[in-house]
């Protein structure tokens, strides 16, 4: 990679002060409903001597000043940094900036002006509490500065048909979608030019665009993503996306002003939208990158693509030596990568999750905190003869996602990557049109029709591959994104339901027949309680620690009320406490309470123990129960305000030694009893 190819994007953008100017303009516009205030968006800012004020009402000689907490050294928000040097205004400390603000106020008052001021933190509180204020701001023309992270959207997933049993249904998948776009699609180099006025044709730019668009009506597969209500949607109407009507016969009758929406998009995705009938209503800001390259990541991808292709083996249709050589030549023609025929062998180990054995709580905590991996499962491995040697087996996979921006990351490149991936999927979605049944980021389930457009099956980077290896779907059903099932000609049955691991017990409930009844509204819902058997061979102690009023008591009460999730249920629960709480009264019948905790740790406030009789059949493996996993995840959650929770296995506390009893004189041994004869026993 050439030097200085990837820019480090400033956390606050290239013009950080504009964000606070925007809030000032919103506040002044809100006040200006009943007043005549001149400001940056209404006639321009007014200057008095060396001072440029945010707003001015000439009729009352009133100056309006908006103080951004960061830029004016707010003593409330930055009290702990008063003597620190300001990161952007390095010649000042936070305290000196605040003193300059007070001196400025005094100078304006001495000139005879009335002064109205508002600090940014007060503005934020007013804005959050006032719905009329929020509605007013939503209709304003001016927008906040372009935030590149707003252009970072994920993949698109949707079920366009809920049920289908007709036609030749097929399931195809893109071979390495993200490596493909990284190798072959253009990416920006260096820093951008920031354009906020005198815009040219948007097609002449390469980068990011903050704009407002008007979608067309009737486009079966919309192009541009839009976030609303915590969801990523691809709507043709902003109001419909926000209101989300559920009537199956609903028709959108909203006006163009109600349908248009604002967002930040990559130019290549915006250009595709314009080709599909979207209209550009207004442009607010452009980040244009004069330099670009399609080879930024090519060498990196080639290195690992060769390993992947060889580990994937030959395609099913490559049986003869001639077919195998043709496959190698085709890969070389497409990717300029020469595979080693002797190394091309199916190697599923490369795709399996990784396994690690943990022996301490600290190791588990580190894995739970590690955002670069995705945990797939945990099991508790026990040794009945050596309880101290218990371990936790953790299965995990490394995440291939972009993390928070840092000096070694670039959110613009991340946004380009996902946009290119969505466009690659759209290139097939759009011509398939209504024949699409379901799609998810890099895969499509569709109805194949001879003589019509169909995805070409090509076993190479970015090509479509047959996910069913020649099999065909005869019945398809879906309850929405990440929720689908199908049955194939060869008898294969597949169910995918987000949030449910389809083990044996779950598969007895979540069946094709049950999902089909749900889709046809013959049943309302399916209920599946996931119960993880947990054999308690020893006393198990959980410790809950934290400050007062952090929810410890309620947390433990909820756990005890749901103790039936542990199988077999504990025979005895002992709750040790330091101070009696009224909430304990309702648990007296089920829990034995003991004052004082048998532990020399002043931080511990609550401790309780589950006890269960040991079983003869002690399996070597037992699954970590869901509540235990939840406790660890909750304990390690960042910025958590509740109690600090951990679990440990401990030996029973030593019993207090009772004072030695006085030795009593030895009892005289009684003579052994004479055994009775059978005749005497019968008489008795």
Instruction: Supply the DSSP string of 204-222, one letter for each residue.
Output: G--EEEEEEEEPPSS-SS-
What secondary structure does DSSP assign to 363-428, as a single string?
HHHHHHH-TTEEEEEEEEE--TT-GGG-EEEEEEEE--S--S--TT--HHHHHHHHHHHHHHHHHH
Q: How confident is the model at residue 153 (pLDDT cuts 50, 70, 90)?
A: very high
CA distance 139 to 123: 18
Write down the residue that tokens 């958590």 correspond to.
640
What mean pLDDT comes out for the span 110-128?
91
Question: Distances from the Cα of 67 to the Cαs of 73, 88, 118, 620, 631, in angstroms?
Answer: 9, 16, 6, 65, 43
Q: How confident is the model at residue 351 (pLDDT cuts 50, 70, 90)?
A: very low
pLDDT (tens digit, 9 = 90+) per residue, 268-314? 999 999 999 999 999 999 999 999 998 888 877 767 666 666 666 77
For residues 239 and 215, give the distance between their C-alpha atoms in angstroms, rounded to a whole number: 12
Instruction: Give the confidence band of 566 by pLDDT, cuts at 50, 70, 90.
Output: low
Is cis: bond before 568, omega within 30 of 0?
Answer: yes
Mean pLDDT of the chain: 77
Q: What is the distance of C-alpha 270 from the center of its chain?
A: 25
Is the CB of residue 30 less than 8 Å from the CB of residue 39? no
Per-residue pLDDT tens digits for 235-280? 999 999 999 998 888 999 999 999 999 999 999 999 999 999 999 9
pLDDT at 209: 96
| pTM for this model (two decimals) | 0.60
The residue with greater pLDDT, 684 or 401, is 684
Tokens for 623, please give them: 């699954």
Answer for the pair 297, 183: CB distance below 8 angstroms, yes or no.
yes
pLDDT > 60? residue 627: no
CATH architecture for residues 18-145: 3-Layer(aba) Sandwich (3.40)
Interhelix angle 120-129/131-138, rounded to 10 degrees, is: 100
The answer to whether 36 touches 59, Cβ cutoff 8 Å, is yes
């Amino acid at each position: 990679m050439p030097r200085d190819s990837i820019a480090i994007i400033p956390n606050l953008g290239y013009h950080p002060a504009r964000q606070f100017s925007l809030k000032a303009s919103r506040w002044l516009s809100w006040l200006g409903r009943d007043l005549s205030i001149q400001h940056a968006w209404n006639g321009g800012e007014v200057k008095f001597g060396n001072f440029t004020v945010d707003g001015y009402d000439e009729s009352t000689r009133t100056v309006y000043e908006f103080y951004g907490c960061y830029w004016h050294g707010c003593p409330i928000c930055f009290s702990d940094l008063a003597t620190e040097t300001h990161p952007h205004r390095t010649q000042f400390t936070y305290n000196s900036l605040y003193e300059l603000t007070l001196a400025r106020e005094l100078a304006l008052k001495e000139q005879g002006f009335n002064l109205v001021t508002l600090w940014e933190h007060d503005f934020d509180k007013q804005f959050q509490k006032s719905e009329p204020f929020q509605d007013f701001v939503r209709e304003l023309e001016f927008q906040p500065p372009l935030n590149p992270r707003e252009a970072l959207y994920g993949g698109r997933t949707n079920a366009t048909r809920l049920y289908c049993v007709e036609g030749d249904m097929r399931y195809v998948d893109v071979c390495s979608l993200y490596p493909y776009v990284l190798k072959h699609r253009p990416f920006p180099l260096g820093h951008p030019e920031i354009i906020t006025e005198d815009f040219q044709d948007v097609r002449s730019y390469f980068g990011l665009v903050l704009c407002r668009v008007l979608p067309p009506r009737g486009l079966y597969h919309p192009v541009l993503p839009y976030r609303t209500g915590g969801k990523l949607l691809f709507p043709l109407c902003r109001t419909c996306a926000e209101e989300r009507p559920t009537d199956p016969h609903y028709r959108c009758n909203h006006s163009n002003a109600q349908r248009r929406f604002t967002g930040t998009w990559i130019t290549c995705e915006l250009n595709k939208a314009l080709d599909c009938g979207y209209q550009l209503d207004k442009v607010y800001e452009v980040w244009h990158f004069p330099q670009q390259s399609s080879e930024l990541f090519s060498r990196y991808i080639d290195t690992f693509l060769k390993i992947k292709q060889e580990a994937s083996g030959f395609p099913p249709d490559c049986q003869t030596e001639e077919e195998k050589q043709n496959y190698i030549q085709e890969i070389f023609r497409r990717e300029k990568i020469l595979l080693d025929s002797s190394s091309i062998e199916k190697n599923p180990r490369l795709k399996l999750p990784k396994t690690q054995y943990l022996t301490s709580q600290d190791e588990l905590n580190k894995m739970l905190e590690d955002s670069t991996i995705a945990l797939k499962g945990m099991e508790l491995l026990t040794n009945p003869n050596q309880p101290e040697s218990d371990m936790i087996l953790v299965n995990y996979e490394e995440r291939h996602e972009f993390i928070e921006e840092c000096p070694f990351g670039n959110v613009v490149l991340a946004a380009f990557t996902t946009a290119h991936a969505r466009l690659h999927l759209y290139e097939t979605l759009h011509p398939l049109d209504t024949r699409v049944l379901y799609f998810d980021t890099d895969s499509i389930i569709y109805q194949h029709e001879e003589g019509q457009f169909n995805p070409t099956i090509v076993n190479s980077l970015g090509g479509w591959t047959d996910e069913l290896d020649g099999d065909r779907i005869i019945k398809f059903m879906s309850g929405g994104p990440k929720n689908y099932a199908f049955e194939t000609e060869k008898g294969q049955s597949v169910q995918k339901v987000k949030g449910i691991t389809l083990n044996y017990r779950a598969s007895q409930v979540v069946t094709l027949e049950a999902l089909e009844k749900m889709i046809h509204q013959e049943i309302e819902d399916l209920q599946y309680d996931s119960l993880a058997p947990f054999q308690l061979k020893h006393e198990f102690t959980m410790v809950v620690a934290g400050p007062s009023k952090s929810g410890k008591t309620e947390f433990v009460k909820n756990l005890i009320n749901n103790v039936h999730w542990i199988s077999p249920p504990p025979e005895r629960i002992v709750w040790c406490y330091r101070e009696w709480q009224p909430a304990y009264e309702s648990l007296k019948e089920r829990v034995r309470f003991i004052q004082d905790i048998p532990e020399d740790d002043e931080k511990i406030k609550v401790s309780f123990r589950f006890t269960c009789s040991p079983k003869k059949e002690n399996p070597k493996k037992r699954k970590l129960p869901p509540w235990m996993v939840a406790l660890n995840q909750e304990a390690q959650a960042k910025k958590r305000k509740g109690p600090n929770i951990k679990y440990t296995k401990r030996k029973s506390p030593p019993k207090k030694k009772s004072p030695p009893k006085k030795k009593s004189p030895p009892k005289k041994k009684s003579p052994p009893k004479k055994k009775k004869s059978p005749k005497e026993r019968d008489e008795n």
